[in-house]
Amino acid sequence: MKDITCIDDLRQLARRKVPRAFFEYADSGSYNEETLRANRADLEAIKLRQRVLVDVSSRSLATTVIGQKVSSPFVLAPIGLCGMQHGDGEILSARAANAAGIPFTLSTMSICSIEDVAEATRQPFWFQLYVIRDRSFSKDILGRAAAAKCNALVLTVDLQVLGQRHRDIKNGMTVPPEIRVKNIIDIATKPAWAWSVLNGKRKTFGNLAGHVKGMENVNSLGTWIQSQFDPALSWKDVEWIKSIWPGKLILKGILDVDDAKTAVKLGADAIVVSNHGGRQLDGAPSSISALPAIADAVGGETEVLFDGGIRTGADALRALALGARACLIGRAYIYGLGAGGQAGVAKAIDILEKELSVAMALTGTNRIADIGRHVLVGGTKKTAARKKG
């Protein structure tokens, strides 16, 4: 991986190594991809304030997230079908996160199951829940997550109906992969991927197979989600989940100040300002444009996490400056996984950490807690309102 110097290099390599249907599943956004593009464009538009002759020799990226000590302000975001980017992708990603000292989040829609990841790793991980129509499934899976010692629950609240990704439909996204002539030809040119997936523990949704009917072979992911996910999901369900989950609760997919306030009222330990990586409501604002108002409204009462478009350490600095306590990364690590398995995920984390450290130095900052709006051009306040960790 010595020629890999940035996340985009990992993306290019993943594009060559991962079958097209799965690469594009990860890469794309919903509909016209306006929100996907806005996530990047709005981050890039925020300019950092270069400062000089500040002693930055004692820099540290260490901080805490929901009371957990972490080596840097990054969290691996929940990614459905992670194990289709590389065989055993969830286990490899969790191991890379463990080694880096940051949390890994396992998606409900993972290929490896909660139990597979718990067995193969030593550190506790976070579990992400999608609530489906059959509420007894949610109750059961939370019991499984608690038994596996998952130390936080990420409840995703922005996907009770599915935003369409055109490329998934055109590619016939199925799990396991649909055997079409063009898929076979494509897979034949990706032998390392085929070997890793064939030798992986599982080839379908590990958390659901055997627990939800009709899960063994998902002919159309989109259709299955439309039929199983519950459009009636409401704040009452959040109260119910809170009452049955014994640990920390994080609400993911908040983009509106009023929703953030309700989440705080219901006792969320943290929220993730997120538009699902531009994969749900196309036309929604970029995550970074929504962050400051939400951080101002609730940042003193709950931890505000952020995701959407993070591809460089400087992006993370921008989000931290606008009030995020930590950044979830999605595609940045998924490209690493597709490019090089565990080493690729480790590389992605390392790239982001080194870039963040340099960006901190050149804005005259030594500690994560000292990052505030003053590191941005035009920013004034000394530090963002952040809940004490």
Ligand X SMILES: Cc1cc2nc3c(=O)[nH]c(=O)nc-3n(C[C@H](O)[C@H](O)[C@H](O)COP(=O)(O)O)c2cc1C
Active site positions, annotated: 276
Choices 136-144, 188-196, 233-241, 275-283 (CB under 6 A): range interacting with ligand X:
275-283
Is residue 78 a contact point for ligand X (CB under 6 A)?
yes
Residue nearest to ligand X (CB): 330
- C-alpha closest to that of 363 among 49, 62, 59: 49
> CB of residue 146 vs ligand X: minimum separation in angstroms?
19
Any idea of the CA torsion for 94, 158, 283, 338, to the nearest 10 degrees? 20
The answer to whether residue 79 forms part of the interface with ligand X (CB under 6 A) is yes
8 Å CB contact between 311 and 332? yes
Nearer CB in complex with ligand X: 16/381: 16
Helices 287-298 and 257-265: angle between axes, nearest 10 degrees: 40
Q: What are phi and psi of 117, to 5 degrees?
A: -70, -40
Q: Which of residues 255-274 bind ligand X (CB under 6 A)?
A: 274
Binding-site residue total for ligand X (CB under 6 A)? 26
Q: Which of residues 302-361 bind ligand X (CB under 6 A)?
A: 307-310, 328-332, 334
Q: How far is the CB of 211 from ligand X (least distance, A)?
A: 16
Out of 4, 7, 26, 362, point to the residue binding ligand X (CB under 6 A). Answer: 26
Residue 274 or 302 with smaller CB distance to ligand X: 274
Residues 278-297 that bind ligand X (CB under 6 A): 279
Q: How far is the CB of 162 from ligand X (least distance, A)?
A: 11
Residue with tokens 């509909």: 31
Q: Does 156 bind ligand X (CB under 6 A)?
A: yes
What is the pattern of x (binds ligand X, CB under 6 A) and - over residues 187-226? Answer: ----------------------------------------
Token pair in block for residue 354: 């080194």
Residue 364 · residue 56 · CB < 8 Å:
yes
Output 28 or 71, the one with its CB closest to ligand X: 28
Q: Which of 369, 387, 371 lies closest to 379 in space, CA to CA?
A: 371
Torsions phi, psi of 332, nearest 5? -55, -40
The count of other CB atoms within 10 Å of the CB of residue 313 is 23
Give the distance, in angstroms, between the CA of residue 250 and the centroid of all CA atoms in the same chain. Answer: 13
CB nearer to ligand X: give 63 or 105. Answer: 105
Q: Does 150 bind ligand X (CB under 6 A)?
A: no
d(CA 355, CA 361): 10
8 Å CB contact between 246 and 228: no
Among 43, 61, 77, 102, binds ligand X (CB under 6 A): 77
Q: By CB under 6 A, is residue 233 in contact with ligand X?
A: no
DSSP string, 132-177: BS-HHHHHHHHHHHHHTT--EEEEE-S-SSPPP-HHHHHTT--BSP
Q: How far is the CB of 39 from ligand X (least distance, A)?
A: 6
Compute the least distance from the CB of residue 303 to ligand X, in Å: 16
CB nearer to ligand X: give 178 or 370: 178
Note whether 102 binds ligand X by CB under 6 A. no
| Cα–Cα dist 236/67, whole Å | 26
Residues that bind ligand X (CB under 6 A): 25-26, 39, 77-80, 107, 109, 128, 156, 252, 274, 276-277, 279, 307-310, 328-332, 334
